[in-house]
A and B are shown apart, each in its own frame.
Chain A
Amino acid sequence: MSYDKSLTTNLEDKYQFNGIDYVGDFGLDWSMASYRSLDASYGNWGGVDPKAEHDLASSPYAVNYNNPISFNDPNGDCPICPAIPFIVAGLVGGTSNVVNQALKGNIGNIWQGIGYFGTGAASGIADYLAPGSGRLLQPVLNKGQQSISGEFALSDLGSYSAGDWALFGLDLGTDALTGGTNSISSSLSTKWVQSLSGGNATYLVGAAHWASEPVEIIARKKVEKTTINSVASGSAANAAKGSTKLLNQFNSVESLLQNAGKFSRVKGGAQQAFVKGDGASIFKAISQGGTRQANGTILMKDGTTLFNHFSSKTGAYTLDINRAGQIFKLRITP
């Protein structure tokens, strides 16, 4: 299969650290994982580990046990979860090899046993990661998302430098190449994003090597766009992911006010409206670049002041906005 480099585009890669939706507007440095958000500026999660009781020795705010090379926590809840399949594959492969060699009478002492276990474990992991297994490309699917993302291990790229590899996408419905976002960058982990254009097509996405002819495909994955759009919006698991769309819609005070429902003037001169969405995510998005003041409010560069609180009666997330003396009160409901 040939590959035309000119067909690649340079869309912004929003899916970065561990494939998480990245928000870098206005100087923010946040990665919005499913369970909590990562503030890369100081390298900690912004919330407590939802499974903190499983590891009492670590700070509940610590990222990947402070070891981002060995651990991977794409959802913000379990740094060792992504490694579990590899551990299982290694254990199965290692144990299986030890048993086989023992039955053949090849193990005379413990060191030989350990050696066979190591060989078997490596083989098991290699099988698990074999090209074509699809595991090298694990799409993160969000409702309404127009792209998918995944990650390669640097070791999967063989002896070539990371920059020699490129991403491609193929719309199997039209047989047309779609734009991959960029070449794989040499970083600790090699993230990729594939934009999905067109209608409800089936896409093949993968990474290919520039230099080889024909192009060497190291991984591929079929993705049904209909699958992406059919993800239920009401489930708790997708509530945080749904906020991705809202973040795009409500990424400033101005956009929030424009997209809010009908405003009602209340006593005292304030205007109130209702907004559907995730209050915390919206507040994070619109407060980017602001400065927290001593009284707890956020002062934006244009003088707008923001404050968030919960209704003392219903618990509804509420945003107060003072924009040039105009007071807005927005109730944000899921």
Chain B
Amino acid sequence: MIEYNRHIKEYLNYNHSSFSNLIPEGEWGNTGLAEIYLQKYWLAEEEYKEKWKSIQDKIFNQEVGLPDLVYRPEFEMIALKGGCLFAEEDFNQLQKVMQEIGNEHFVVIQYSQELTEGEPMFRMKFPVNITWDELTSGNYISAVLLEMSYNEYYVFSESENWGKYSANDYEQPLDIIGFRPEYECVFRKQFEQSKEEQEEIREWLPPKYKGTIK
């Protein structure tokens, strides 16, 4: 059985079609594009368990979301505004970091959604050099993946040196990027924030993060 069959069916007629910036409502529902996208970028459960799960566990505390600390203690963090998995600008920023570090692939693993009605969850793998147009080429599937405002995700690469937690459904949506201390310069350069933005986001942080994020 193909692991993403439910995604093709269940997101075909989905509330986000009325809210998407990527796919106009009239173009929503191209199952051909959706299937091609999933064929190319779906991360099979077997590969996830064999390779990626152990990497994930070296970066993130297992099955923890905000307000608890999602990163292991050795990771430093930057907090950014969340709201969706990627907007074009912040994807480009992360892509530059990944290329600088020398990563080849990154994966997107959806965090469990306890209170939704069993919507199928995403588990994707993309090449680091993917273009924004290609990343968004899956019609309604990529629209839900990238934009759905209550989906939360772990993002990381094979390097085990950084991660991104998309806490879109926290009270105020946040992106928490974690990295090993030796990569601090790279991340702070790409994700530079104004003083005002830092202060605004600081107000939104859970208490456990306020004392940890510089």
Interface residues of A (CB under 8 A from B): 264-270, 272, 293-297, 299, 305, 307, 309-316, 318, 320, 322, 327, 329, 331
Contact = CB atoms under 8 A, between A and B. Distances in A.
A318 B149 CA distance: 11
Given A266-B83, A267-B84, A270-B83, A314 B171 contact: yes
Contacts of B21: 268-269, 327
Given A314-B171, A315-B115, A266 B82 contact: yes
Interface string B144-184: 00010111100000000000000001111101000000000
18 contacts: A265-B81, A266-B82, A267-B83, A267-B84, A267-B175, A268-B149, A269-B21, A270-B83, A294-B13, A296-B14, A305-B18, A305-B19, A307-B15, A309-B15, A312-B115, A312-B150, A312-B169, A331-B171
Contact of A307 (B18, B151, B175): B18
Contacts of A293: 18
A310 B13 CA distance: 19
Contacts of B149: 268, 270, 320, 329
Contact of B18 (A269, A270, A295, A310): A295
Nearest to A266: B83
Interface of B: 13-15, 17-19, 21, 65-66, 80-84, 87, 90, 113-116, 147, 149-152, 169-173, 175, 200
Contact of A311 (B13, B81, B169): B169
Given A312-B152, A313-B169, A329-B149, A266 B19 contact: no
B169 A267 contact: no
Nearest to A274: B171
Contacts of A318: 150
Contact of B90 (A267, A327, A331): A267
A267 B116 contact: no
Q: What secondary structure prevails in chain B residues at the interface with A?
A: loop
Which of A268, A307, A311, A315 has the largest number of chain B CB atoms within 10 A? A268
B19 A322 contact: yes
Contact of A264 (B14, B65, B152, B200): B200
A266 B116 contact: no
Contacts of B169: 311-314
A295 B212 CA distance: 42
B91 to A, nearest CB: 11
A314 B113 CA distance: 10
A167 B21 CA distance: 56
B166 to A, nearest CB: 9
A66 to B, nearest CB: 32
